[in-house]
Amino acid sequence: NAGVTQTPKFRILKIGQSMTLQCTQDMNHNYMYWYRQDPGMGLKLIYYSVGAGITDKGEVPNGYNVSRSTTEDFPLRLELAAPSQTSVYFCASRSTSAHEQYFGPGTRLTVT
Amino acid sequence: TQLLEQSPQFLSIQEGENLTVYCNSSSVFSSLQWYRQEPGEGPVLLVTVVTGGEVKKLKRLTFQFGDARKDSSLHITAAQPGDTGLYLCAGGTNFGNEKLTFGTGTRLTIIP
């Protein structure tokens, strides 16, 4: 049982490039979330999903897109990378019947 | 927008001392979670409190949810170097479709 896995662990992008951050969970959780964490700060919700085929915006969705074609996968897409998107990105999941969110190890993204 | 303010932002104390971290908001939450995050990793849940006035103990850690469900505290007794980390509170609303609002974080360092 791997829990929540994220790839890549680190990435450097040039301004204007695109990339997809991958997130997979093997706990059959319906709820999945994407957060960003800026240095020394808490986490801000980018997008979330309550099940396959359903996604919704969080607090800071601009510049990002998501899809949820399966229960297991919840990729985050950056279309035109900007320096303001330099951050650590965390994916999380939780079951319908519990409060606890399980987090992946994060992806550290630098846009220069 | 719901905000959760944590204080202090930074805390550095000697091993064996006691400490309290506070998490305050003007908003009411249906649940309050505390997470600990270590460098290079995602947050890990410590506790969830859901009832106003609730107190939960986890070994040397004591968590309290305010009567009005707007604030919470984390008290650590006889701090140990293993307690070092970033402590995050997170308020939840609408359990069936719960999104978390994370606090600003308290970075705790325990000096041996």
- Residue with the bigger pLDDT between A92 and A96: it is A92
Q: A28-42, B75-89, B94-108 — which is least confidently predicted? A: B94-108
The two structure tokens encoding residue B14: 């000697």
Q: CB distance from B94 to chain A under 8 Å?
A: no
Q: Do A58 and B99 touch (CB under 8 A)?
A: yes
A93 versus A39: the higher-pLDDT residue is A93
Number of Cα atoms under 13 Å in the Cβ half of residue B67: 0
Nearest to B45 among A50, A58, A100 (CB): A100
pLDDT number for residue B93:
83
Count Cβ atoms below 10 Å from residue B79 Cβ, excluding itself.
Answer: 22
Residue B11 has pLDDT above 90, yes or no: yes
Q: What is the DSSP letter of B83?
A: G
pLDDT in tens, B28-64: 998 999 999 998 899 999 999 999 999 999 999 999 9
Q: For residue A41, what pLDDT is reported?
A: 80
The answer, yes or no, to whether residue B96 has pLDDT greater than 70, is no
Largest CA distance in chain A: 41
Number of A/B CB contacts below 8 angstroms equals 54
Contact state of A103 with B4 under an 8 Å Cβ cutoff: no
pLDDT tens track for B28-38: 998 999 999 99
B95 pLDDT higher than 70:
no
Task: State mean pLDDT over B1-25.
Answer: 93
If you search the block for the tokens 């992946």, which residue do you land on? A104
Cβ contact, residue pair A99, B95, below 8 Å: yes
Q: How far apart are CA A98 and CA B84, in angstroms?
A: 27
Q: Is A22 exposed, middle or buried, given 0-12, 13-18 or 19+ CB atoms closer than 10 A? A: middle
Q: Please give the average per-residue pLDDT across A62-69, as a whole number.
A: 97
pLDDT at B1 over 90: no
Q: Closest-CA residue in chain B for A5? A: B42
Nearest CA in chain A to B6: A42
- Any idea which residue has 């998107």 for tokens? A85
A48: closest chain B residue by CA: B99
Determine, for residues A101 and B102 on separate chains, whether the beta-carbon distance falls below 8 Å.
no
Average pLDDT for chain A: 95
Sorted by sequence, the CB contacts under 8 Å of residue A111 that are 6+ apart come out as A12, A13, A14, A15, A81, A82, A83, A84, A85, A86
